[in-house]
Amino acid sequence: MFPKNAWYVACTPDEIDEKPLGRKICGEPIAFFRGADGKAAAVEDFCPHRGAPLSLGKVVDGKLVCGYHGLEMGCDGKTIAMPGQRVRGFPPIRSFPVIERYGFIWIWPGDPAQADPAKLHHLEWAENPDWAYGGGLYHINCDYRLMIDNLMDLTHETYVHSTSIGQKEIDEAAPATKVEGDHVVTSRFMENIKAPPFWRMAMRANGLDDEADVDRWQICRFSPPSHVMIEVGVALAGKGGYNADPQYKASSIVVDFITPETETSHWYFWGMARNFKAHDKALTASIREGQGKIFGEDQEMLERQQQNLLLYPERNLLKLNIDAGGVQSRRVIDRLLAEERGAAAPASTTAL
Amino acid sequence: MFPKNAWYVACTPDEIDEKPLGRKICGEPIAFFRGADGKAAAVEDFCPHRGAPLSLGKVVDGKLVCGYHGLEMGCDGKTIAMPGQRVRGFPPIRSFPVIERYGFIWIWPGDPAQADPAKLHHLEWAENPDWAYGGGLYHINCDYRLMIDNLMDLTHETYVHSTSIGQKEIDEAAPATKVEGDHVVTSRFMENIKAPPFWRMAMRANGLDDEADVDRWQICRFSPPSHVMIEVGVALAGKGGYNADPQYKASSIVVDFITPETETSHWYFWGMARNFKAHDKALTASIREGQGKIFGEDQEMLERQQQNLLLYPERNLLKLNIDAGGVQSRRVIDRLLAEERGAAAPASTTAL
Amino acid sequence: MFPKNAWYVACTPDEIDEKPLGRKICGEPIAFFRGADGKAAAVEDFCPHRGAPLSLGKVVDGKLVCGYHGLEMGCDGKTIAMPGQRVRGFPPIRSFPVIERYGFIWIWPGDPAQADPAKLHHLEWAENPDWAYGGGLYHINCDYRLMIDNLMDLTHETYVHSTSIGQKEIDEAAPATKVEGDHVVTSRFMENIKAPPFWRMAMRANGLDDEADVDRWQICRFSPPSHVMIEVGVALAGKGGYNADPQYKASSIVVDFITPETETSHWYFWGMARNFKAHDKALTASIREGQGKIFGEDQEMLERQQQNLLLYPERNLLKLNIDAGGVQSRRVIDRLLAEERGAAAPASTTAL
């Protein structure tokens, strides 16, 4: 149950620089590669000749050459050539709209006619030299919506990430959730607290006294289909918190792109964008490593939660105030799904 | 197909001393922990908030704190508290009657109203300082009844355990099986034979000449739902066998608690209780290690047998005299299952 | 979907020299062992006593002794004896016709009455001292017919085996396929080319200049149920190619026995027979090692192709000229399957 008419992150550019990449997205096996002029492309990972996965082949002059019998596939899903064959009558395979931007390859798994580049999630920091980004990819065996729930309710940091970014005060600060069209924002503010270990590290990196009292904030922003950007940070207490002058702050954006693989698994692209010491690559690597460890702590919980929900599919879960971010995000997704079904129905009727 | 209104061994006390334990028993995921005053408790391994497994959390002041968002679960399945929440309306989860006794944690997976502690299997040796016990736990991928069959027909020792406790004379001594209410006893006596390696070791440990001729016995006692206690031993030949004076004997009780996990897997708690050199801990460890190796020899056979039976579910197996112990034990189980169904039916009718 | 009335390679003799072998063939678990006088035998891998796999037992005096409770099984599927039991009434299990010949154990999984040894695939080289053979066994998770396709269209060598036996000229030489009764032959001839690495090695081993131009041939011969013998070789250019005098040649026969395990897995017995330096065991070992690496290159492609076909079962694959060998081989198989169904139907009617 995932919207198909949407831009999802499929991979990072480096994953297709050397050779094609096979990755299942929204239930479909897809081969990603660089076509003519290095432009990213995506086609079904299914050779029209004998069904071999095209991603096991290689790219030659911008064509995806099947590694089984040499069929040459174009970026548009049409066979360009095959040794000793006339290929004009070969059935095409699906190709998918793809955009390379902001350091990611994005795919539109649904109706290509609706694949408007303007609908791509805008990442202002990604094109700003004052910002640095580092991130990674995890494969998680649970419904992508459980990850959205996870990220829209950071109460879990106190428990899952108790040694790094969790702290008791998160529990004590009730979050506020508001819905703005297709966007959901859940915010939490804590004042006059001590920073947890991760933020002490960031304060030191910013030249701030890591023993000082701070105001801390977490602003989780859901955008369809399944992106969660979280503004996080601390400022020296009483300097304005989220709105404090940068000299008193350590802050960043937690970046989460959650791409469904199947109904019960997803690709989790996580990372952090920051606007301090943007050119310090060692710091980028160090933050990335630390974040990777922290975000890895969620995996067992999410996968075991998924197993429990599969065992008891009829049970109703609680929807508390802390769950409002996830609950509202799912409502947006449900509405998009209904719209896709509604749009699909007449078309299908016409086809009859 | 397992009786639910019965006491099963769930775990050993050390498994919940440090942190909660998640274990599926009779098809249900259950979280075991120590509540107030260290008393063992068991609740569904399913947080009423979002379905996370409670066993991934930790115990604080006798409460099981969910490791995802901090819900505090009580031993009775009722939520005690949750940071920032009123929990009075939270739906309870199931709790299970639990008893800690004889060095085990016992669980009653069925109707709590019927969970009479007096129905617990009595282990006289477990509270007698003249006896020592050592044992372990194996996870076996087969129907728990195949393990009962295995233990009620020790003919297999000659083949599966040929280098330790098996010997040709077992085959030659026909077993006798009798049913006493819900209990089944299969006995086998061998006279004037040489002891096999395991018993030679035990004879030496008891100061007996391990080259001497012995009388050997095996008395397998099945009790519902799935316990098999086996009196085993050797005595110097002609001294009275099973009834010989202890100075002529090496004997012990093989202890088997077989707890269903699913229809085709179980938890196998095996061990040995002995009343010689009870205070010799090195001997306990050595016997435990030896028994662990021997009992591990059954695993592949049982699991492959299970695969065969799943492949040919319609085939009738033979029921020879050596199988009588298992056959009669299964009849007891079938009767208990029928009683549970009979008891359940009217209740269900009433509910309508 | 595999013919059952046919001789398949089940194993090599060394696999049953020391102990019984359990192997699933055409969907049935079978125990292979050496009966009286060392004669190969095959029975269901299912003890009539309690369903244990007989292959976990051992062979004593030509009888297969069950490793669980000592039942002694004969080569004919009838129980010979069991300690303490009268076995006359024991139900027999199926036994399978077996032949040991040409360095293989062959099995007939279907109707024993039709198991004519004369129908065994004849391997002339296997009994000729001028020839040497080396081979191995791979377990492949795909329909056995995908392997037949693979071997009847060597176009894939250019892509899958580009560093050993593949070369661009294979693509450029159109293959010719002819059907002769139940046999299918696909041939390809290349003239005045450079030999690829594997054949250069063979030329050197034969005292030929490995830089010389050669004529190369590949003659793939399918025989039911699923054997593919491929005559391959090179000769110095202009010396007659396939028909050249042996002094100008390096040639061999690629031997492929493809035995279904399940609908989506098979046992792949691969090897090479050669008639040069037949007594050079080091060369046999070296060729075997090289061939093992090359043939291992197909595995991922075939298994991923199988996954794709399972995901899109309704898609029609292309049937190009290069696919004719596989297409015609499948037609032979389909005809044999129809014949088996036709033969089975009346018999079944009679039974009613």
DSSP for B186-237? EEEEEEEEEPPHHHHHHHHHTT--TTSEEEEEEEEEEETTTEEEEEEEEEET
Tell me whether residues A322 and B69 touch, CB distance under 8 A: yes
Q: Does A322 touch chain B (CB under 8 A)?
A: yes
In sequence order, the β-bridge partners of residue A44 are A30
C chain contacts of residue A85, beta-carbon cutoff 8 Å = 320-322
| pLDDT per position as a tens digit, C116-125 | 999 999 999 9
The distance of B307 to chain A (nearest Cα, Å) reads 24
Q: What ranges do the domains of chain B cover?
A: 8-119, 125-336
Chains with 3 or more CB pairs under 8 A to chain A:
B, C
**Residues of chain A contacting C320 with CB distance shorter than 8 Å:** 49, 82, 85
CATH topology of domain B125-336: Naphthalene 1,2-dioxygenase Alpha Subunit; Chain A, domain 1 (3.90.380)
Percent of chain B with pLDDT over 70: 97
**To the nearest whole angstrom, how far is the Cα of B137 from the nearest Cα of chain A?**
23
ipTM above 0.95, yes or no: no
CB contact under 8 A, A308 and B49: no
Tell me if B67 and A304 make a contact (CB, 8 A cut-off): no
| Residue C160 to residue A48, Cβ atoms within 8 A | no
Name which of C68, C71, C78, C262 to mutate to probe chain B: the one with the most chain B Cβ atoms within 10 A of its Cβ.
C68
- What mean pLDDT is reported for chain A? 94
- What is the per-residue pLDDT for C172? 87
- Of A48, A52, A65, Cβ closest to residue C301: A52
Q: What is the dihedral of CA B307, B310, B312, B316, to 10 degrees?
A: 100
- pLDDT reading at B200 higher than 70: yes
Task: State the amino acid at position B121 in one-letter form.
Answer: H
pLDDT score recorded for residue B345 = 58
The CATH architecture of the domain made up of A126-336 is: Alpha-Beta Complex (3.90)
pLDDT at C351 over 50: no
pLDDT the model gives residue B252: 94
In 3D, which of B350, B262, B337 has the Cα closest to residue B110? Answer: B337
Instruction: Please report the residues numbered 52 through 111 in chain B whose beta carbons come closer than 8 angstroms to any beta carbon of chain A.
Output: 52-53, 56-57, 65-70, 82-85, 90-91
User: Residue B152 pLDDT > 90, yes or no?
Assistant: yes
Please tell me whether the peptide bond between B175 and the residue prior to it is cis, using omega within 30 degrees of 0.
Answer: no
Look at residue B349 and tell me whether its pLDDT is greater than 50. Answer: no
pLDDT per residue as tens digits for the range B225-266: 999 999 999 999 999 999 999 999 999 999 999 999 999 999
Distance in Å, alpha carbon of A181 to nearest chain B alpha carbon: 26
pLDDT of A205 reads 86
**Is the CB of C174 less than 8 angstroms away from the CB of A67?**
no
What's the DSSP call for residue A162? T
Residues 174-193 of C with CB under 8 A from A: 174
Nearest C-alpha in A relative to C305: A52
Instruction: Using CA coordinates, name the residue in chain C closest to A85.
Output: C320
Strand partners, B69: none
The correct answer on CATH 3.40.50.261 for the domain covering C128-336 is no
Residue A276 clears pLDDT 90, i.e. is over it: no
Report pLDDT digits (tens) over A31-49: 999 998 999 999 999 999 9
| d(CA A85, nearest CA chain C) in Å | 8
| Per-residue confidence (pLDDT) for residue C205, from 0 to 100 | 86
Please judge whether A49 and C309 are an interchain contact, meaning their C-beta atoms are less than 8 angstroms apart: no
In sequence order, the 6+-apart residues with CB closer than 8 A to the CB of C309 are A51, C143, C146, C315
pLDDT at C345: 59
Average pLDDT, chain B: 94
Question: Considering chain A, what percentage of its residues have pLDDT values greater than 90?
Answer: 90
Q: Cβ contacts (< 8 Å) between B307 and chain C: which residues?
A: 53
pLDDT confidence of residue B348: 44
In chain B, what residues touch C65 (CB-CB under 8 Å)?
Answer: 159
- Whole-number mean pLDDT of chain C? 94
Do the domains C8-119 and C128-336 sit in the same CATH topology, yes or no? no
Q: Are A100 and A40 in contact (CB under 8 A)?
A: yes
pLDDT at A348: 44
Give yes or no for a contact between C255 and C133, defined as CB atoms under 8 angstroms apart: yes
Q: Which residues of C touch A261 (CB under 8 A)?
A: none
C46 touches chain B (CB under 8 A): yes
Q: Is B162 on the interface with C (CB under 8 A)?
A: no
* Level-2 CATH architecture, domain B8-119: 3-layer Sandwich (2.102)
Task: Convert the pLDDT of each residue in A301-337 to its tens digit.
Answer: 999 999 999 999 999 899 999 999 999 999 999 999 9
B20 touches chain A (CB under 8 A): no
Separation in Å, CA of C156 to nearest CA in chain A: 5
Q: What is the pLDDT of residue C352?
A: 34
Q: Determine which of B169, B188, B305, B318 to mutate to test the interface with C (most C C-beta atoms within 10 Å).
A: B318
Judged against a pLDDT cut of 60, whether residue C348 lies above it is answered with no
User: What pLDDT is recorded for position A352?
Assistant: 35
Give the E-state strand segments of C181-326 in sequence order.
Answer: 183-194, 213-223, 227-236, 249-262, 265-274
Name the residue among C90, C148, C62, C158 with its Cα closest to residue C333.
C148
Bridge partners (DSSP) of residue A31 are A22, A43
Structure-block tokens of residue A258: 């959650």
Of C300, C312, C315, the CB nearest to A56: C300
Summarised one tens digit per residue, pLDDT across range B25-47 is 999 999 999 998 999 999 999 99
Question: What pLDDT sits at residue C164?
Answer: 87
Note whether A218 and A232 are within 8 A (CB).
yes
* C42-65 pLDDT, tens digit each: 999 999 999 999 999 999 999 999
| Separation between Cα atoms, residue C119 and residue A86, nearest integer Å | 41
What per-residue confidence (pLDDT) applies to B126? Answer: 95
> Mean pLDDT over residues A240-262, rounded?
96
**Contact check, Cβ <8 Å, C312/A51:** yes
Mean pLDDT across B128-138: 96
